[in-house]
Amino acid sequence: MQDERLIIAGREFKSRLWVGTGKYKDFVETKKAIDAAGADVVTVAVRRVNITDRSKENLLDYLDPKKYT
């Protein structure tokens, strides 16, 4: 089972671990934790992603959307 890939809607994932972005003190710590976990899927609370004010720091500034689902 360790060598089996997880496939959802035709997309293949190496890791079955999903990591949430809550409970970290800042975006730098969040990114470090996600990288260390080796997860392919990251969950994000909508209220934590500021999409209206581009002048403010945003979680998406730290995470590559091409790397994580």
User: CA distances (Å), 68 to each of 3, 27, 53, 55, in order?
Assistant: 20, 15, 23, 24
DSSP annotation of 5: P
Domain ranges of the chain: 17-61
Specify the pLDDT at position 1: 54
pLDDT of res. 64: 83
Q: In a 3-state reduction of DSSP, which class is residue 46? A: helix
Residue with tokens 């995470």, as numbered in its chain: 63
The pLDDT value given to residue 56: 83
pLDDT computed for residue 18 by the predictor:
92
For residue 48, the model assigns a pLDDT of 62
pLDDT along the chain (69 residues), means of 10: 80 89 90 92 78 81 82
Phi, psi angle pair for 41, to nearest 5°: -120, 130
Helix (H) or strand (E) holding 20: strand 18-20
